[in-house]
Amino acid sequence: MSDHDRDRCTVGVVGTGYVGLTTAACLAHLGHRVTGVDIDARKVAVLRRGDVPIAEPGLDTLVADGLATRRLTFTTDLTALAEADVVVLCVPTPTGPDGTADLRAYDAAVDAAAPVLAAHCVVAVKSTVPVGTTTRTARRLGRPAVSNPEFLREGHAAHDFLHPDRIVVGGSDPDAASRVASLYDGLTAPVVHTDPVSSELAKYASNAFLALKVSYVNVLADLCERLGADVVDVTDVMRLDPRIGSTFLSPGPGWGGSCLPKDTRALLHTATEAGADVALLADAVAANERQHERMARKVRQAVTGSPEGSLHGVRLGLLGVTFKAGTDDVRDSPALAVAQRLAAAGAVLTGYDPGVDRDGCPGTHGLVQLVDDVTLVAKDAAGLVLLTEWPQFRDLDWAHLAELTDRATIVDTRNLLDPPTLTRAGFTYFGLGR
């Protein structure tokens, strides 16, 4: 056995969703012996075959390599955690009706694992949990627990894990924190050691700040339209300021997905419970809700000539239903939030998205008829609405699509397309903030 192998850990990962599967596969890639544990027997059977049920570039290769080298295994048997040096909790914590995180699945996993863990085992909490949960988990287990939040972007999760901006380790026990940090040996990134509360809050604070930026730029886009400015030019100027940064300055139909909506609601709840005034964040959430309605009104204006125009029976084609490109995730998708408003106004919706199967996307059932050919979206449509920024949409045969439409009108809510190209193809083009 080499010195490198002796430095590696035996790791248990509880939960094999987006975060758990990425964590398990990437830690195996780093040389650790990893067992992914999940209560879903069907999911475990699929993973054992090397099939990855989520759309994450590169993750299938990492899983296949881990299985081939036997550094990665999957099971439904929690007793497999008995050999683990570190157990990483990656259990879903969905948002409850009041905005708080639903910890029932998380607590059940903690209670189930408690009698199995070896005396020397350290627990790392990677699930996004309310402030104070890691300390509560340590008391519940009677052993050290360390907050180790994830900062993974869907569609880039494997890359982000192996090329992180920072690694955050929040622990009251220095030895336990050091052992969790050692899981990432070999990665080039600053390691921030802090207390569990600061670590948990940092995750919420980071995502909430990104939500603030997106809400701000969407409000700015509306102002640009009213004043006759071009939001693309305005944000190009802003991006050059290092104090502002270049990311999250593209207007769109709103922010969504599995992280920003959940984390902003959770932080709002936490702040309210603590008696803190976070009106700025509440305004960002409200602005995001208004953005969905604004996009629906923009479509009505483009198609009928009035933001209040009737869409009853009007056929519209939607380009994209996922919350962003590069993923098959429609959770809290702003594309579907806009679609719901268009459907409520009477529109008949047909949609195409390269990331989702037309028969396997429950979030669209009864709302959008999904098709697997983009020409079917355009055929006889009164207008097209681009809602997800898939780069391949730039290269569609727009002249042909214009011929198929009833009225060659397109609303580009992502400013993805080149307006002169669309105009030459015969479309009347409507962008955002320009």
Residues annotated as part of the active site: 259
What is the identity of the amino acid at 324?
Answer: K
Distance, CA of 23 to CA of 158 (rounded, Å): 8
- Crossing angle of helices 196-227 and 231-239, rounded to 10°: 140
Helices 196-227 and 279-304, axial angle in degrees (round to 10) = 40
HSE value, Cβ hemisphere, 13 Å, CA-based, for 391: 1
Whose structure tokens read 């995730």? Answer: 329
Query: In whole angstroms, what is the distance from residue 15 CA to residue 22 CA?
Result: 10
The CA distance from 267 to 278, in Å, is 9
DSSP-assigned letter for residue 413: T
Rounded to the nearest 5°, which phi and psi values hold at 113? -80, -25
- Close Cβ partners of 267 (under 8 Å, ≥ 6 residues apart): 204, 205, 208, 278, 281
**C-alpha triplet 389, 320, 382: angle, nearest 5°:** 115
DSSP states of 335-398: HHHHHHHHHHTT-EEEEE-TTS-TTS-GGGTTT-EE-S-HHHHHTT-SEEEE-S--GGGGGS-H
CA 207 to centroid of chain Cα atoms: 10
- Report the number of secondary-structure helices (H) and strands (E) in the chain: 16, 14
Q: Collapsing DSSP states into helix, strand and coil, what is residue 430?
A: strand
The beta strand positions in 214-285, using DSSP E, are none
Asked if residue 32 lies in contact with residue 11, where contact means CB atoms within 8 angstroms, the answer is yes
User: How many residues are recorded in the chain?
Assistant: 434
